[in-house]
Amino acid sequence: MAQRRAVIDRNQRLVQDMNEHAHNSKMIAQMMSEITGRPTPENFQMKLPFYTDYGGDLHFGKNIILNSNVQMTDLGGITLDDGALIGPGASLITVNHDLAPKHRRELFVSAIHIMENAWVGARAVILPGVTIGKNAVVGAGAVVTKDVPDNTVVAGVPAKIIKTIPDD
Helix (H) or strand (E) holding 25: helix 25-36
CA atoms within 13 A of residue 62's CA, in its CB half-sphere:
1
The one catalytic residue among 23, 97, 103, 113: 97
Cβ-based neighbours of 155, under 8 Å, separated by 6 or more:
138, 139, 140, 141, 142, 162
User: Are the C-beta atoms of residues 44 and 29 closer than 8 Å to each other?
Assistant: yes
Assign residue 141 a region: left if phi > 0, alpha if psi is -120 to 50, beta otherwise?
Answer: left
User: Are the C-beta atoms of residues 127 and 97 closer than 8 Å to each other?
Assistant: no
Q: How many residues does the chain have?
A: 168
Residue 103 bears catalytic tag: no
User: Are the C-beta atoms of residues 153 and 165 closer than 8 Å to each other?
Assistant: yes
Q: Hey, which residues are catalytic here?
A: 97
